[in-house]
Every structure is written in structure tokens, then in C-alpha cells.
Chain A
Amino acid sequence: MRRALPALAVAGLLSLTACGGSASPDAAGTSSSSGSGGELTGTLTVFAAASLTDVFTGLGDQLMAENPDLDITFNFAGSSALATQITQGAPADVFASANQTQMGVVTGAGLAEGDPTVFTENVLEIAVPPDNPADVTGLSDFADADLTLAVCAPDVPCGAAAEQVFEAAGITAQPDTLEEDVRAALTKVELGEVDAALVYASDVQAAGDQVEGIGFPEAEDAVNEYPICTLAGSQNPGAARAFLDLVESEAGQRALTDAGFRSPTS
């Protein structure tokens, strides 16, 4: 209950920014964060898509270094799992989804604070083993039944995107396996057991030297947008807002680009 006024002031400021609606008095009343000199305190819980693990961990460390009294906890998992956890009442302050669909689950349940913003994008790339033994050059190679090819299952986001680009390109894909997630597809590329897999550019980047990425123009037909927002039930809206700002800042965008993501085009 102490310092309720400054906390309210911070909450007021938040309402000016993109994702902030009106901060609930309840949040301000119980918040342990306080705004004296921009110092953030308390605990911040961020639910983020697994593909953001490296970038967000780095940004979180940066924010904690600037605010020694702030403690950030991450929960990295598949977006749909995170959305389910949030609607089931998991305590979270920020949600960063790997697609609009799962964000829609959260906003549809009235749990988002204001409108989510798209903070980064991801496009598909062709991942091949080092030196590209099968000489894969573009998306059309996925119609070659003689190649051993991995695509994500249509039930998971990278598979849905793959279907979209194949359809747009008018290609009948001949995959040998429909992988349950990007990681499984990449493992098979790394082991040299498939000639190519269709994954996200950020995944290719994360795999380092183990795989090579080949971009293709049709990828623009399935750009994956990553929306982020603070959550209505947040116990620490000040810190949540600050984290969002950091992600959208120049430094945050550079970290994302370095990891194979790209800045929002729209």
C-alpha cells in the first residue's frame, strides 16, 4: 500500500503507449514496483514463444542490470501452450506470441491490456545440411519426390505457414515427414538425414553452423507476425511496460534482427 501515488502516476503514463489501456487501480494498489527515479522493483513474469528464448533472455538480463531490484522470470514454450496457461489463470505480466492466432485466444478472453502490437516478424527459410549436399536451390525442390524432405505438420505454426507458401507457389510438396515442431525438423537436417527442411529464418540462425539457410521469395506469402502485450491481471504493470518498450526499442530490434527475425514491415 505504500507509495500508491507514484505507482498510479506510472500507470497513468502507461496509458499513453500502444499496448496500455487504463491501468487497473487494483494493479496499482498491490504493486510492489515503484517509480522513484525510474527504478523498477518486484517480480516480472514474461510468457514468450520458445523461438524468442535467446533474444528475450538477453533483453531481460539488460533490464535487470539497469534495475537491480527487479527480478524477471521467463516461461518459454509453444504459443498455444502459453495461451492455454494464461486463459487457465497462470500469473503472467507479458505475453509474446509467435502468431496472431494464439494472441487472439488471449485477447478474446479479455485478458490483454489494450491492443497487442506486432514487434517482429519471421519468414520461412529452407534449412539444408552444411554444403547443401542435395543442391537445393529453392522452394520448387520440395516437389522432388527423390529428395528426403521435412516440413512441419500442418497442426503447428511452421507447418501452417509452409502450406501457405506451397499453395501460393502452386507447388505440390513431397515431404517424407511432417515434423511435430521446428526443433525436430532441424535435428534431422543437422544429422544429415533429410536433404532440406522448411523452418523459420530465426531457427536457421539459432542452429549456427549446423545448418545453412536458403531464402526464397515465396516466403513473403506467409510472414509470421509476433504480437506482444501486457496482461490485464499484471501485478507489475510498470515493469511490464518497461519490458515492452525495451523490446520495441532500437536495441531490442537489433537483438531480434541478429537472431534472424526482421523488423515489422507494416
Chain B
Amino acid sequence: MAFLVLPLLGLLVRAPWSELWPQLTQPQVGQALRLSLVSATLATLVSLVLGVPIAWVLARSTLRGRSVLRALVTVPLVLPPVVGGVALFLVLGRQGILGRWLYETFDYTIPFTTTAVVIAETFVAMPFLVISVEGALRAADARFEDAAATLGADRWTTFRRVTLPLVAPGVAAGAVLCWARALGEFGATITFAGNFPGTTQTMPLAVYLALQSNPEGAIVLSLVLLAVSLATLLLLRDRWLGRSGVPT
């Protein structure tokens, strides 16, 4: 516990409190914070849309390549994020497999845009959601799905009205984890999306660069990021996770 908390205390102790306000009122800080929150939230939504079905396939289907799929899903967890960023270039970059087609057909490039930030964050953060939801699905009693089927519910209705509500706490926990990871994402973002204030410079990027020239400012920015993420997590915990009385 001390191992987890002491670095935070270190930040608090070293914080130049007198610099707090001037730092906070810098337009770049607000910009970076807003971009961080928006892109992390979008990444979480994309992860939900893509990740929940993947988790369902992993937990419920009898597909042959399931273990391979699971290994693939967890790759971003073990991959250094910077490498993940390069991998995204190779697929979605201007010279990438899909990206080249986009560029040549629509004259559209993904890198160095806010879209790239969301993609990079999704790539890195989605495994947290998938693993969390898959665990919840495995823990949930599949016989509820049988019961729903005998009551006339097809697969989709069953999934929507029975399975999903049953695993809602797991989905919520996974989404929060995913959001937190996306908020703190650095390596894949700075590689694939680059760093430009207002477009792709999220808080972690701002913190890292501030550290090069103005360590005190970097501490202040870290504290802002920390405060915002803690506040959000606590709020969500009370709203969602605390109250759901669904046994799994």
C-alpha cells in the first residue's frame, strides 16, 4: 500500500502550491485537460462497443480460435506502448496497410489528429475492458440465458435484457479501468498521434514535456491530472459500482 501511495505523497509534498493557480490558468493546461477527458471518454465508448462483443465471444462461444483471440486481445497489455504506436502507424499511417488506401482514396490521414489520439488510447486501454467483462461473463450464471431462451428471448434480446444487466458491474468496472488507462496513455499517443497543443497534446504529454523544461510546472500538471481522475473514479464508484445489488 505504501508502495502505491508514497509516490503520490511525494508529488503532494513537492508541489509548488504558489505556482498552482498561474499554472492552472494557462490556456494550454485547460486545452490539454479537456482533450484528455474527451479523448479518454471517446476511447472508452469505442472500447465498450468493440470490447463487450469480443468479451462475449471469449466467454460464451465455442469458437475454435478462442485462445488465439484472447492472446491477441491481451497483446497491447504486454507491448511497450511506443511499439503499439509504431504498429498503429504500420496499419493506419499514411504508409500503412489501411491508411495508405484512406490517404489515396479520400486524401485523409489519421496520424496527428484527435482521431489518432482516440485510436491510440483505445488500442492500449481496451484490453482492460475486455478482460474485466470476460471475467464477469464467466462468473455470471449462464443458466439465466437458458431461462431467457425458454421465455422466448432470442440471442440478442437475451444479451441485451439479461446478460448485459447481469454483468453490468463488471462492465462498469472495466469501463472505469479502461477510462483511467486511456487518460494516462502516453507512449502510443505521442508516437501515433504526435504532440500538438489543442489537437493531440493530452495531459500526460503536456506533463512529460513540461518535465523537460519546467519540473515544477510538471508536478502541478500531474496533480491536476491526478485530482481529476480521482474525482471521476470516486464519483463513478458511488454512482455505479456501489449501488448495483446484482450478485454474480
Contacts and interface: CB of A to CB of B under 8 A. Distances in A.
Interface of A: 78, 80, 148, 150, 153-156, 175-180, 184, 187-188, 191-193
Interface string B75-95: 000000000001001100111
B95 A193 contact: yes
B169 interface: no
25 contacts: A80-B212, A148-B94, A148-B109, A148-B112, A153-B209, A155-B210, A155-B214, A156-B209, A156-B213, A175-B196, A176-B112, A177-B112, A177-B193, A177-B195, A178-B196, A178-B197, A180-B205, A180-B208, A184-B190, A184-B191, A188-B194, A191-B89, A191-B93, A192-B94, A193-B111
The 10 A-B pairs at the shortest CB distance, nearest first, are namely A177-B194, A155-B213, A155-B212, A176-B112, A192-B95, A155-B209, A193-B93, A178-B195, A153-B209, A156-B212
A153 B197 CA distance: 10
B39 interface: no
Contacts of B202: none
Interface residues of B, number: 25
A244 B227 CA distance: 48
A3 B24 CA distance: 60
Interface string B91-112: 0011100000000000001011
Contacts of A184: 190-191
B200 interface: yes
B226 to A, nearest CB: 21
A193 B111 CA distance: 8
A69 to B, nearest CB: 39
Contacts of B214: 155
A177 B94 contact: no
A86 to B, nearest CB: 16
Contact of A193 (B89, B197, B208): B89
A153 B89 CA distance: 21
B191 A176 contact: no
Most chain A beta-carbon neighbours within 10 Å: one of B94, B112, B205: B112
Most chain B beta-carbon neighbours within 10 Å: one of A156, A178, A179, A184: A178
Contacts of B95: 191-193
Given A178-B195, A184-B191, A193-B94, A153 B212 contact: yes
Interface in B166-210: 190-191, 193-197, 200-201, 205, 208-210
Interface string B33-62: 000000000000000000000000000000
Nearest to B192: A193
Contacts of A155: 209-210, 212-214
A126 B90 CA distance: 23
Nearest to A84: B215
Most chain B beta-carbon neighbours within 10 Å: one of A154, A175, A177: A177
